Structure 1
Amino acid sequence: MDTKKVHLRAEGDLNTTEERLRWEQRNEHPATKDLLNRDKAVFFHQALSTPCLGVVVSAKGSEITLTDGRTLLDFHGNYIHHAGFAHPAITKAVKEQIDLLSFSTRRYTNEPAIRLAEKLTRLSPSLNRLLFAPGGAEAISMALKIARVVTGRHKTVSLWDSFHGATLDTASVGGEATFRQHIGPLMPGTEHAPPPNPAECPFRCGSTCNSSCADYVEYILEKEGDVSAVVAETIRSSPFIPPKEYWKKVRAACDRHNALLILDEIPHALGRTGRMFTFQHYEIEPDMVVIGKGLGGGLIPFAAVLGRDSFNVKIREHSLGHFTHEKSPVAAAAALALLQVIEEENLLDHVNRMHIAAMQKMREIQMNHPVVSDVRGLGLMLGLELRNPESGEKALDEAERVMYRSMELGLNFKLSMGNIINLTPPMNVTEEELSKAFSIIHQSLLEVS
């Protein structure tokens, strides 16, 4: 493996490695091979998508079914399957809305969009205005523009290894090389700080984050003097889970230096961590939060930026989110149905119970496999980190082989940072499904070791 390209693996496993080639050679089902070749013939090739792993023909609950007939537990799902794939209540709501009103022409509003906005803005004390967008990157873009208009400044502070989208502006505030390299000048004024990741902390904080990286965020705010906003993921989806003190320090630093705090919760807001907003674990309130992914109920691309009512006066004369499908009644119906499912099925409580079960399973795996250097999770944002037990270096080859073997045994997940098994099951995953998934990981680790 080319260790010089480790930094390109931050957001996911690459399709350019030798292990991927071996995977393709082992899986040559005729129908699958034909469709993958057709896919390769028409789509631009990218390191994180085409050429693809396989071909999905159906998805329901926690599972996906492939053209070769195999069914896999999907503990990736691109973070969209909060209530599982094709939840009957959500699909029913979408079908009914399509028959009633499928699109809302610009300059008009519609009742589903209004109802959804009312529900979302009641979820926190201070985030009581919002804008909708077709996707998370567009919502981040709106948040950046709102920050400029509200503060009169343009600079930002964000974190290395972060992901906020693949558009030029979101890649500029993002911190992953795979989206930033070799594309020319990025947005000016986008400063970066190290993330709260003790395993690779430049401040040598040890095995536990001591929030020195939060102090460095304030150092940048002070030296620059005119930063509009700190933009960061509340927890990194790998996951990196900062201590409570980290966000309390950053919140206070933003207040002292008149910078806004924008939190990106696109992958995990609306319950994946056991709270409706992940920042609620940290007892802070951001000035804006961006949500998406699961907001569309696993069916419709949809996102939103929520912010303070006081911003409304300053942005009144601007057009910050001029999207064709901004107030999509179909997407709003899906989101309303998702919120109802979360409430009626008590999914927040369920997530917290499954978190306890998952952490126990992961700790058992760690005890039995020295290559597993750390396990961590918040709700059902879960990760197992693989490092060489002797050198402490990232176990990149082992992690990739574990991933491909797990897929052969019936479990789909992605790798983050090259060596972290990133698990994000649906919020309504069963304990039996969790047990099956961790049994597969255990077996794969045994075979790889």
Structure 2
Amino acid sequence: MQPNPAITLEKRFCAHNYSPLEVVIVQGEGVWAIGDDGRRYLDMMSAYSAVSHGHAHPRIRAAAMAQIDKVSVVSRAFYSEPLGNFLQTLCRISGFDSALPMNSGAEAVETAIKAARRWGYRVKGIAANQAKIVVADNNFHGRTSTIVGFSSEPAYKADFGPFCNGFSEARFGDIESFRAAITADTCAVLIEPIQGEAGIRLPPAGFLRELRQLCDETNTLLILDEIQSGLGRTGKWFAFEHEGIRPDALILGKALGGGIMPVSAFVADHPIMDLFDAGSHGSTFGGNPLAAAIGLEALKVLEDEGLIDNSAQLGRYLVERLTALGSPAIREIRGRGLWVGVELDRDARPICEALLAEGVLTKETHENVLRIAPPLSISREELDWGLERIERVFKQLV
């Protein structure tokens, strides 16, 4: 077999900081990705939830093209027409007063860190340069040098130090560990309500309610990173809604870009957001007209097309079907909505490769967890198509 020229060129000229499966995707249509050989693959990964609406959603694509025909980038040195409409809709849906638009999820996390520290100094009264943020073990919030500095994953940190101070770690899901970690100098707790890269790990029921109460008692901000879990992925707009709480601030991204471009946001009420003044933070591309037009339509599609209810209903069905496999290779199935991790007793990479051969795109996380996260637009028939092939692969393991 002749080597694939696209793969050859990428391996030659691109940094080897990923380990992709051996397939070249040239087109996407809804829940389907098309390879360079014309084969159709069911996308059950959704680019880590960035393609929640499906590939090339016609409404989002039309909104993008219409804005491109007007103006794409002006920077926030000037006002632009789409941005206010986008952020008004985002604030209405999230229930917060204000939003600061960025591009990548990591940028929005860095924005949250700045906001938390400034709040700590100017509102809580923490001494200069002493503010601390408590994070969870096995967290994943991005890959900037600040963020990997408080990761507990050695592979993310090796030979990238020295790292930024000001972070302490508590055990995910253990309220007493967080209680012990919070001090008078703690300005915020930053946590994922469901840990994605750690293997779709859910905390015990009631943990987020206890954490909300603890933050209230200690005058500490509760900031939730819902870059992956937010915008319908778990069967509700936001994962925190499953516990009936409200954080002090929210970090969003991935699906906010409608599967077209990176769009993220830090969302909070005025007492936090108004601590940013002119020149204190910014991004050349953050909140550009094209991103705003895409983000607005991405939110409208989630509202109009019932994708969040679809995630809730088909998510339950997905777990039922996976549980019914009864495979001895499966240790645990966990998740919410159309976001499921299948923990295995072995390396998940060969299973991803076997599924690729069957026409299903998935990817492993933490070596032994199979991640299943199709677009929220998937139909039951399409999901059944994928599940039949997953069942076939697991039967071959016996």
TM-score range, shorter chain: over 0.9
Which of 176, 194, 210 is matched with 1:235 structurally? 194
Secondary structure at 1:230 match in 2:
strand
Q: Does 1:83 align with 2:83?
A: no
CA distance in 1, matches of 2:107, 2:225: 12
Could you tell me which amino acid in structure 2 is paired with residue 249 of structure 1?
A: E
Give the C-alpha shift of residue 52 in structure 1: 5.8
Q: How far 1:312 sits from its partner (Å)? A: 3.7
Q: TM-score, normalised by structure 1?
A: 0.83
Matches within 5 A, 1:3-82: 28=1, 30=2, 33-46=4-17, 48-49=18-19, 53-78=22-47, 79-82=49-52
Report the Cα offset of residue 430 of structure 1: 0.9
Aligned position for 1:165:
142
Distance 1:96 1:124, change over 3 A: closer
Deviation at 1:317, TM superposition (A): 5.7
Which consecutive segments of 4 or more residues in structure 1 shift more than 3 A?
none
Instruction: Specify the alignment match of 1:377 in structure 2.
Output: 335
Q: Which moved more, 1:417-426 or 1:89-98?
A: 417-426
Amino acid at match of 2:38: G
Q: Which whole-Å deviations, capped at 9, do the CAs of 1:199-228 have from their partners, x for residues lacking one?
A: xxxxxxxxxxxxxx121011111xx43112
Query: How far apart are the structure 2 equivalents of 1:189 and 1:58?
Result: 44
Instruction: Give me the CA root mean square deviation.
Output: 1.6
Give, in angstroms, the shift of residue 313 of structure 1.
4.0
Residue equivalent to 1:188: 165
Q: Is 2:340–2:373's contact at 8 Å kept on the other side of the alignment?
A: yes
CA contact (8 A) 1:36 1:52 kept: no
CA distance in 2, matches of 1:323, 1:53: 35
Rounded Cα–Cα distance in structure 1 between residues aligned with 2:22 and 2:224:
32
The answer for the alignment partner of 2:124 in structure 1 is: none
Q: How far apart in 2 are the matches of 1:291 and 1:173? A: 20
Distance in 2 (CA, whole Å) between partners of 1:402 and 1:308 is 45
The residue number in structure 2 matching 1:19 is none
Residue type at the aligned position of 1:288: A
Match of 2:252 among 279, 286, 291: 291
Match of residue 422 from structure 1: 371
**Any idea what the Cα deviations from partners look like across 1:92-133, whole Å, max 9, x if unmatched?**
1100011012122332121211001101111244x2111000
Report the counterpart of residue 356 of structure 2 in structure 1. Answer: 407
Structure 2 counterpart of 1:357, from 293, 302, 317: 317
Structure 1 residue runs of 5 or longer lacking an equivalent are 1-27, 197-212, 388-394
Cα 1:314/1:344, change in 2 over 3 Å = closer
Task: Tell me which amino acid in the other structure corresponds to 2:6.
Answer: L
What secondary structure, in the 3-state scheme, does the structure 2 residue paired with 1:373 have?
strand
- Counterpart of 2:68 in structure 1 is 98
Distance of aligned partners of 1:174 and 1:307 in 2 relative to their CA distance in 1, 3 Å threshold? farther
How far apart, in 2, do the equivalents of 1:248 and 1:187 lie?
30
Bigger drift between 179-188 and 91-100 goes to: 179-188
Change (3 A) 1:267 1:44: same
Distance 2:393 2:94 in 1: 42
For residues 237-277 of structure 1, what are the alpha-carbon distances to aligned partners after superposition, in whole Å with 9 as ceiling and x for unaligned? 22112233111111111222222111111112111111111
The yes-or-no answer on 1:216 pairing with 2:177 is yes
AA partner of residue 147 (structure 2): T
TM, length-normalised to structure 2: 0.93
Which of 255, 259, 264 is 2:220 aligned to?
259
Equivalence for 1:207: none
Residues 361 and 435 in structure 1, CA contact (< 8 A), matched pair in contact too: no
**Structure 1 residue 318: deviation in Å?**
5.4
Tell me if structure 2 keeps the 8 A contact 1:164–1:173: no
Mapped to 2, the partners of 1:176 and 1:333 lie a distance apart of 36
CA offsets 1:341-373 (integer angstroms, 9 cap, x no match) = 1222111222222122212111111x2x11212
Tell me which residue corresponds to 1:17. Answer: none
* Pair 1:53–1:378, CA change in 2 (3 A): same
2:344 is matched with 386
Report the alpha carbon displacement of residue 33 of structure 1 after superposing the two structures with TM.
Answer: 2.1
Separation in 1, partners of 2:248, 2:64: 32
- SS of residue in 2 equivalent to 1:100: coil
Provide the C-alpha distance between the structure 1 equivalents of 2:77 and 2:108, rounded to a whole number of angstroms. Answer: 19
Secondary structure of the corresponding residue to residue 291 of structure 2 = helix
Residue in 2 that maps onto 1:331 = 291
CA deviations on 1:367-408 (whole Å, 9 max, x unpaired) are 2x1121211221111121112xxxxxxx22xx2221110111
SS at match of 2:100: strand
TM superposition shift of 1:151:
0.8
Aligned to 1:176: 153
Which of 327-336 and 89-98 deviates more? 327-336
**Amino acid in the other structure paired with 1:235:** I
SS of match in other structure, 1:58: strand
